[in-house]
Every structure is written in C-alpha cells, then in structure tokens.
Copies of this chain bind each other. A is one copy, B any other.
Amino acid sequence: MIVVMRRGAEKAEIEHMAQRVESLGLKAHVIVGEERTVIAAIGDKREEMKESLESGPGVAAVMPILAPYKVASREVKPESTQVVVRDLKVGAGSLGVIAGPCSVESEEQLITTARAVKKAGATALRGGAFKPRTSPYAFQGMKEEGLKLLAAAREETGLAIVTEVMSPEDVELVAKYADVLQIGARNMQNYRLLEACGRVDRAVLLKRGPAATIDELLLAAEYVLNEGNQNVMLCERGIRTFEAHTRFTLPLATVPYLHQKTHLPVVIDPSHGTGHAYLVEDMCAASVAVGADGLIIEVHPKPEEAMSDGYQSLNLEQFAHTMAKCRKVADALGIEM
C-alpha cells in the first residue's frame, strides 16, 4: 500500500502514520518528495488495512498495490481452469454453450427447446425454476416442479442442467436436480448464498452484478472458492450505464481483462447483456472472437408467448443460425466448440 500524505503534512503526522503502518505488521518506507511525502507499506495485508489507514491524520489517500482477491488470482494459479460437467466444457480453449428458456413453463416447452438446442450444438440446458423477479406481481417460477422437468430433459437429451438458486435454504434442493448452480446478478453479493454454494459438489455459474466492479466479482467468487468449491465460472451479463437503447451495456473487454487476472473461465450472456433478440446473434459471434469460454443464451420456441424475457429470447431457428455463425468464428480461430 502507498499512503499519500497531504501537502504540508506535519512531521508528527508522518511519524504517526509510519508507526501505525508498522503496528499493522507491515514495514513502513517513508519517501519524501518535492511536494508530498508518501509512505510505502510493505507486506501482504490488503484491503482491510486500507480502510483503517485512510482516516489517519494528514493522510490524503491510500492506494492499494495488491489485488484484494487471492485464490481466484492467476498469479496464484497460472494455468486456466476448465469446468467440465457432462458434455459441457468451459475454459482452457473450449467454448461451452448453455441455452434454453428464461423460465421453465411446461414439459412441452422445455423438451422442445432442449432437443432443438442440443441439435444446434449446445451442451447444457438453462431454465429458471426459481425466478427472481423485480416485481412481486410477476411470474415467480414453477419451483420444484420446474426442477423435475429439467431433470427429465437431461434424462432424454444428456444436456447438463444450469438453473438459478436464490437462497441458501434452496441450495440442497436445487443441487439435487441441477448440474450447475447459477447465482444471479442480483445475488452476486448475497454472501450466505455464495458460501452455501461453495459447500456443495456442483459447479457454480456466478453472474456479475450490474454495478459490480471486476474486483468485487472476483471477491464474490472468492467466497465460493474459499469454501472448497473450485468449479466456478464467471459470467459477464452487462453493467448498468446511461445507455438506454440496450437493457444493459455488455463490455466484452471483460473477457481478455479477466483472462489476465484470473484462471477462472468467463461466460458471456448476450441475452441479458443486450435485452433485444435482434442483437444477440452478432454479440454471440463477437463473444467467440474476443475469447469467451462460454455462452449462455435465452431460447424459446415462441418468444412472443414466453412468460418472461420474451423480447430477448431467440426462437429455435434463430438459435441454430447463431450457432452456425459462432462455429465459423470458432473454427477460424482454433477454438473448440
């Protein structure tokens, strides 16, 4: 950490802060500049120290040098993590495709979609049984009934099942049916849920919150990893910005940036990331080109009649077309898909 003292900070203040740094178990290195004095605090204490030092006398700012996450860091584990669940392979050169409806609505709807996405090349089926909805008046999902339909679709198609879990007390139930537990954007910092998912033997798909920084996302992943579960996929699904013509702003630079910082694979969600079906295909192709390790795409046999997210769902034909385009890009760049 670098503690930057205010211009004109008194000698006593500087000494006080240097002692304070030492009392935290770090080594203080005072550097007197022309205009300001800075104190370099050497050692590995990270984030928590920063808060404490900033309110010291004469301090202008504290700048951390080290990233606050540890286990998720590529510095700690240089080789890329690949998450493998049935035929779904995500990371380390493999691009996995997860597709399916926003909500599980009926056996007919689900199995039709499952067959179609499998045929087009997906290796996992998504579908919400527990639905977090902005409004209490909106459809809240089929719950366990929906989980059973998902398991039945897996039975028939062999697709891995990805579904959201909303609360710690549901983790066991959802894990009974699902292969991958999805933690939604709204719950990215629901720490109890993160910990509960860290204690079960299921892969986790952790979605970035729309206002979360990358450091916050990696620290959320760290909550899961810390409990012993190493099968974590990060998911960029768009951030909230002033742009109103898309539902969220989908920053694909997250992919190469995360690849430098962490060994965990990165999945892109162009459905939520754009909020409009007609933008999804091109953003899928771009995601493949930018190096994404996976895609999660909303697909519905009749988007117009979907109980949720119809406006951003591809129909079966559009999905097949999208997959064909993605495969061209993947083949050109030597990505396994």
Residues in A lying within 8 Å of B, measured CB to CB: 2, 4, 7, 20, 29, 31-36, 38, 40, 42-44, 46-48, 51-52, 54-57, 63, 65-66, 68-70, 75, 132-139, 166-169, 186-187, 189-192, 209-211, 213-214, 216, 219, 222-223, 226, 239-246, 249-253, 255-257, 260, 273-274, 276-279, 282-283, 285-291, 303-311, 313, 325, 328-329, 331-333
Q: For the complex formed by this chain, how many copies does it contain in all? A: 4
Q: Which 4 A-B pairs have the closest CB atoms?
A: A211-B211, A54-B311, A332-B332, A289-B289
Identify the closest chain B residue to A249 (Cβ).
B251
Q: Do A289 and B291 have beta carbons less than 8 Å apart?
A: no
**Which residues of the other chain, B, contact A52 by a CB distance below 8 angstroms?**
304-307, 310
**Which residues of the other chain, B, contact A253 by a CB distance below 8 angstroms?**
246, 249-250, 273-274, 279, 282-283
**Which residues of the other chain, B, contact A305 by a CB distance below 8 angstroms?**
52
**Which residues of the other chain, B, contact A333 by a CB distance below 8 angstroms?**
285, 325, 328-329
CA–CA, A283 to B285, complex, Å?
12
**Which residues of the other chain, B, contact A255 by a CB distance below 8 angstroms?**
282
CA–CA, A210 to B243, complex, Å?
11
Q: Which residue in B63, B241, B242 is a CB contact (below 8 Å) of A63?
A: B63
Q: Do B278 and A286 have beta carbons less than 8 Å apart?
A: no
Q: Which residue in B169, B251, B278, B289 is a CB contact (below 8 Å) of A168?
A: B169
Q: Do A291 and B287 have beta carbons less than 8 Å apart?
A: no
Q: Do B42 and A31 have beta carbons less than 8 Å apart?
A: yes
A136 touching B213 in the complex, CB below 8 Å, given contacts A55-B311, A333-B328:
no
**Which residues of the other chain, B, contact A35 by a CB distance below 8 angstroms?**
44, 66, 75
A239 to chain B, nearest CB (A): 6
Identify the closest chain B residue to A33 (Cβ).
B42
Q: Do A51 and B242 have beta carbons less than 8 Å apart?
A: no
Q: Do B38 and A219 have beta carbons less than 8 Å apart?
A: no
A294 to chain B, nearest CB (A): 15
A48 touching B139 in the complex, CB below 8 Å, given contacts A246-B251, A311-B54:
yes
A55 touching B306 in the complex, CB below 8 Å, given contacts A132-B191, A253-B273:
yes
A54 to chain B, nearest CB (A): 4
Q: Do A166 and B138 have beta carbons less than 8 Å apart?
A: no
Q: Which residue in B38, B75, B137, B289 is a CB contact (below 8 Å) of A65?
A: B38
Give the most central of A190, A286, A309: most B CB within 10 Å. A286
